[in-house]
């Protein structure tokens, strides 16, 4: 997710706020929506927004767009003004907790696209019980991090005729002649997230997660760099929040619904040997600098230099976004009907795919808005009690995948289950 200090709240029924990635110019410029954000919202099923409050249809709540440039502003928009209404947006470590706190206190469910594990799990520790008491849903990582991965694992499970026990996903991002880049808000999330690894471990120890049992053959972890025969290029572990989010969902589904937990590994395809060498040098430099305060300041101040142009303060251009798309391929294995997963090796496999437009500015608002629609329209299919949930835990029984398919984030079976 975009952890830009400008923050953003894009809301369903009621008022909307927007800055950073989904309602204003990349970088948090005020005063209206940028073309890329407007395009993303149109793709998500919303009209192109204008600053201020939009006229409401008779009998419908008004909707509008408003930038949030301060913590009090975030609290106000998602607090009293959101009372009894769902709230969706971009927050993360900068505005995240005040927004969650205000929503829970005022009985408003909250959807967020931040992909920072420490924020997501910190909100679970602090607000899960309070949200349950209020009967509201706080659902994080509802953007590109991590709806394609989390819902993709569930989709793969549902399409396998048997018991799915392990899945690996491989992300491929394709760009056009203009190339591609990512806004530096994501870069900042990586900088601060890696610097906070010790605190994340302490947080998880404090939560006291129940271990997720391994069912079937244990999924082997791959190396830091390996040649992928399926794609004929090199792959590395995906450094985003997908693995931790999927694990939270699987833990919930196993603990609360007694479903068989699925092991999960996430990887990204990076290209040929030249790309691997560049990544190794950049990664070593990044890991050295992120350990020190001075190094982190340099990384945050000069993202374009240290990322070889992959991350910029301006974000992608419209042409870059138009030419960019993603594909996430899932390779699942398990046991056919009648076979005991506790005995023997997996005897059935399946390949599925999630594909969509540019991840950060087009696919993310599609995912966020459709998650909010599911929250509103599939309320009977949500977990019985309120609380802080991951997408898979909240939406596993809803029509979210069906809605995403209609909006251009498409789930499909590539090869049918076969022994």
Selection from 3-7, 12-16, 90-94 with the highest mean pLDDT? 90-94
pLDDT digits (tens, 9 = 90+) for 133-164: 999 999 999 999 899 999 999 999 999 989 99
Residue 249's nearest CA partner among 154, 340, 133 is: 154
Residue 47's pLDDT is: 52
Could you give the CA distance from residue 241 to residue 145 in angstroms, rounded to a whole number? 7
| pLDDT of the residue at 138 | 94
Is the pLDDT score of 275 beyond 50?
A: yes
Alpha helices in 231-363 (DSSP H): 242-257, 273-289, 293-301, 303-306, 318-322
Q: How far, rounded to the nearest angstrom, does the alpha carbon of residue 295 sit from its chain's CA centroid?
A: 27
The pLDDT of residue 239 is 86
- The domains found in the chain, sorted by start residue, are 158-356 (3.30.360)
Q: 113-143 burial, b for 16+ CB within 10 Å, e for fewer? A: bbbbbbbbbbbbeebbebbbebebbbbbbbb
Q: pLDDT tens across 357-381, in order? A: 999 899 999 999 999 999 999 999 9
pLDDT tens figures, 286-295 = 888 988 889 9
Among the listed residues 12, 7, 120, the one whose alpha carbon sits nearest the alpha carbon of residue 74: 7
Strands 52-53 and 233-237: unpaired
The pLDDT confidence band at residue 24, using thresholds 50, 70 and 90, is very low
pLDDT on residue 44: 56
Query: Is the pLDDT reported for residue 201 higher than 60?
Result: yes
- Which spans in 175-292 are helix H? 184-195, 197-207, 242-257, 273-289
Q: 67 pLDDT exceeds 70?
A: no
pLDDT greater than 60 at residue 78: yes
């Amino acid at each position: 997710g975009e952890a830009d200090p400008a923050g953003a709240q894009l809301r369903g029924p009621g008022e909307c706020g927007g800055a950073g990635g989904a309602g204003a110019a990349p970088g948090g410029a005020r005063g209206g929506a940028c073309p890329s954000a407007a395009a993303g919202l149109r793709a998500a099923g919303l009209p192109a927004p204008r600053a201020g409050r939009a006229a409401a249809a008779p009998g419908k709540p008004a909707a509008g767009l408003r930038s949030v440039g301060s913590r009090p502003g975030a609290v106000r928009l998602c607090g009293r003004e959101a009372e009894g209404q769902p709230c969706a947006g971009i927050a993360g470590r900068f505005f995240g907790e005040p927004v969650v706190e205000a929503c829970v206190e005022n009985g408003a469910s909250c959807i967020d696209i931040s992909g920072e594990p420490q924020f997501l799990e910190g909100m679970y520790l602090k607000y899960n019980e309070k949200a349950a008491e209020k009967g509201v849903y706080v659902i994080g990582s509802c953007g590109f991090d991590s709806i394609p991965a989390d819902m993709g694992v569930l989709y793969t499970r549902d399409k396998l005729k048997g018991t799915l026990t392990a899945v690996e996903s491989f992300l491929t991002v394709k760009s056009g002649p203009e190339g591609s880049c990512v806004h530096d808000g994501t870069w900042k999330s990586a900088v601060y997230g890696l610097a906070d690894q010790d605190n994340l471990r302490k947080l998880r120890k404090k939560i006291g997660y129940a271990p997720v049992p391994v069912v079937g053959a244990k999924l082997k972890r791959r190396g830091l760099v390996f040649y992928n025969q399926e794609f004929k290029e090199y792959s590395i572990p995906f450094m985003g929040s997908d693995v931790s989010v999927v694990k939270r969902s699987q833990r919930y589904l196993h603990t609360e619904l007694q479903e068989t937990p699925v092991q999960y590994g996430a990887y990204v395809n990076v290209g040929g040997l030249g790309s691997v060498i560049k990544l190794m040098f950049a990664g070593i430099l990044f890991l050295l600098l992120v350990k020190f305060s001075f190094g982190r300041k340099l990384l945050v101040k000069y993202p374009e230099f240290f990322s070889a142009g992959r991350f910029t303060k301006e974000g992608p251009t419209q042409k870059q976004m138009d030419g960019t798309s993603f594909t996430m391929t899932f390779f699942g294995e398990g046991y056919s009907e009648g076979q005991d997963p506790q005995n023997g090796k997996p005897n059935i496999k399946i390949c599925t795919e999630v594909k969509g437009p540019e991840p950060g500015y087009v696919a993310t608002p599609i995912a966020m808005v459709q998650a909010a629609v599911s929250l509103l329209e599939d309320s009977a299919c949500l977990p019985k009690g309120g609380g802080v949930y991951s997408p898979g835990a909240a939406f596993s029984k809803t029509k979210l995948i069906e809605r995403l398919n209609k909006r251009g984030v498409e789930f499909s079976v590539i090869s049918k289950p076969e022994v």
